[in-house]
């Protein structure tokens, strides 16, 4: 089974979870460690860093929203309402 290497167009997909963030962080570290980056790799690195910043901002906003709440348990879904 062969693996093909695709060239990136400088875009990064949105980071939606901590797992995505960890993966993007690993790729960003690998790209930043390369001494001779081509323009596509540089665009990819910049796109990853932008997406990582967006995720960090969203996490900070979410943490600020939860500061006043004492309950640290799982959140309920709207379908668990029981008002049927």
In a domain, 75, yes or no: no
In a domain, 84, yes or no: no
Indicate the number of domains in the chain.
Answer: 1
CA 37, CA 45: separation in Å to the nearest integer? 10
In a domain, 83, yes or no: no
Report whether pLDDT(70) > 80. Answer: no
**pLDDT digits 0-9 by tens, 11-30:** 788 888 899 999 999 999 99
Report whether pLDDT(52) > 80. Answer: yes
- pTM of structure: 0.60
Please report how many Cα atoms fall inside a 13 Å half-sphere around the Cα of residue 13, on the Cβ side: 5
In a domain, 67, yes or no: no
Please give the C-alpha separations between residue 55 and each of 6, 16, 27, 44, 61, in angstroms, as whole numbers: 25, 7, 16, 17, 10
Range of the domain at 31: 8-58
In a domain, 36, yes or no: yes
In a domain, 29, yes or no: yes
Q: What value does the mean pLDDT take over residues 1-8?
A: 60
Is there a contact between 70 and 34 (Cβ–Cβ < 8 Å)? no
The pLDDT, as a whole number, for residue 25 is 92
């Amino acid at each position: 089974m062969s693996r093909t290497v695709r060239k990136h167009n400088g875009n990064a997909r949105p980071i939606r979870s901590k797992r995505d963030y960890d993966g993007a962080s690993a790729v960003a570290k690998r790209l930043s460690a390369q001494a001779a980056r081509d323009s596509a790799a540089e665009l990819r690195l910049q796109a990853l860093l932008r997406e990582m910043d967006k995720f960090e901002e969203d996490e900070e906003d979410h943490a600020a929203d939860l500061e006043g709440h004492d309950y640290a348990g799982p959140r309920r879904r709207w379908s668990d309402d029981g008002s049927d």
